[in-house]
Amino acid sequence: MNYRSTRGQVSGQSFESVVLEGLAADGGLFIPEQLPTLPADWQTAWAELSFPELATELIAQFVGTDLSHTEVSQLVQKSYATFDTPEVTPMVQLDARTHVLELFHGPTFAFKDVALQFLGNLFEFFLERRNAQSGGHRLTVVGATSGDTGSAAIYGLRGKKNVEVFILHPRGRVSAVQEAQMTTVLDENVHNVSIEGTFDDCQDIVKELFSRSEFRREHSLGAVNSINWARILAQISYYFCAFFALRRSHGADALPAFVVPSGNFGDILAGFYAQSLGLPVAKLVIATNANDILDRFLRTGTYEKDASVAATPSPAMDILVSSNFERFLWYLARDHEVPSSVVDPEERAARACEILAQWMDRLKTAGSFSVSPAALDAARQVFWSGRCGDAETYSTIAAHYSHEPSYLLDPHTAVGVHVAETLRPEIKALGAHVHSVCLSTAHPAKFSDAVLRAVNDAGHQLDFDSILPAPFVGLLEKPRRCFESENSADAVAQHIVDVAQSK
């Protein structure tokens, strides 16, 4: 199993290499050179597997010879032993044809724990193995967060051998709980950095640091954002898990339409890969808040940055540019932009890289690019989309809290549920056997201000202490450590140098 960059200048990379490098040297994102073929009997052979067992089978398809099946199993078991339920990602039914897939049962109560607990263990395993062969291997992980990635990355990497982790977050643009989850972790290898700006500013700084080849090499930079392929790989598992859970509860013909709150596109990209591997999926639905670049693309065929980020009740989705969309765009270019007269698979891949690089250059210089009508039609075959405003977010939280039985949504999940309800007629038209499965990305206690506003403004009462997870009790009063930085790659780079020199 080898990997290539979407930009075309890097190929033939091993799984271990792409995990440790994160971002390709040409600025592209790593994708498999070929998708594996699942066993012919996977639908029956895997039907009763536990989540860790299912994840092991799926991940093993992508690691080549870098990990044995036993090693994958041990890493997976270690990663999900930290979750508070043996199901790992349980599914809850809201009504006859709508379900919530709860992805928030990990250490930081966000969906990103599913990937980052695994990625942290992968980093440690590969570095220890390399150091056993020849010492001196370390990794400096640099990541950007709009809230949940940061805490999940920190909890996945805290105390890990041979790893330093620097997490950039936009000052004042994450929730109080999210900020506290990050900055109260005082392990010596954890370094929080607040930036005066937006998540996109943080993400741009990270990409700039990775583009500095000498700095990247000297400090052995590694990526923890969903630009790291291992993040996407780990998330494929819960799509398969939900498929089997739905069929166990609603019959052998039940089919999911996954509705996914989307910011950086990593979560729903995992669904695209699951479908590409052969998972039966009725539809993948992108749910956006007011920062709706993905919804606008599917309506117009033009991928265009807004002038600024809108602050919403769902801050983890407050993103101008969805970095992981580049991976899907590569497949769109290969299959629908490269002329059909080009039949050689490697030539088609090379041409796709050229087209993708041109699109990314236009996005950087002009702020937008457009795809062909054929490519847009193909994208619409895979994805539907919908948008949810702030008022709809609050009203959806309130409606489901007051519903019988009551269910409390976090604001990101509320975006997904609202879009699922808006598209209910279209989803129903897909067939009586199709069910909406809304991915729930965070525990509602992480967004207390939004949840309490939604419930109180609707005239209801909520005893917030009754839903507060034990690790959140007293969290806001704990000691903190965070470096306040200028909004520049140079300033962050100097901080990394200073920390390295102090060790």
| Cβ pair 24, 30 in contact under 8 A | yes
464 pLDDT higher than 90: no
Q: Whole-prediction pTM value?
A: 0.94
**465 falls in which pLDDT band (50, 70, 90)?**
confident
| Angstrom distance (rounded) from CA 323 to CA 30 | 12
Q: Which 3 state secondary structure label does DSSP give 408?
A: coil
pLDDT at 95: 93
| Angstrom distance (rounded) from CA 107 to CA 82 | 6
pLDDT digits (tens, 9 = 90+) for 349-368: 999 999 999 999 999 999 99
| Angstrom distance (rounded) from CA 440 to CA 437 | 9
| Angstrom distance (rounded) from CA 17 to CA 3 | 9
Tokens in use for 115? 């990937």
Active site (annotated) includes residue 112: yes
pLDDT at 404: 86
343 pLDDT higher than 90: yes
Tell which residue, 231, 242, 223, has the closest CA to residue 266: 231
Averaged pLDDT score across all residues of the chain: 95
Catalytic residue among 78, 112, 364, 503: 112
pLDDT at 161: 87
**Residues paired with 258 in a beta bridge:** 284, 437
**225 falls in which pLDDT band (50, 70, 90)?**
confident
140 pLDDT higher than 80: yes
**224 falls in which pLDDT band (50, 70, 90)?**
confident
pLDDT digits (tens, 9 = 90+) for 397-456: 999 999 988 999 999 999 999 999 999 999 999 999 999 999 999 999 999 899 999 999
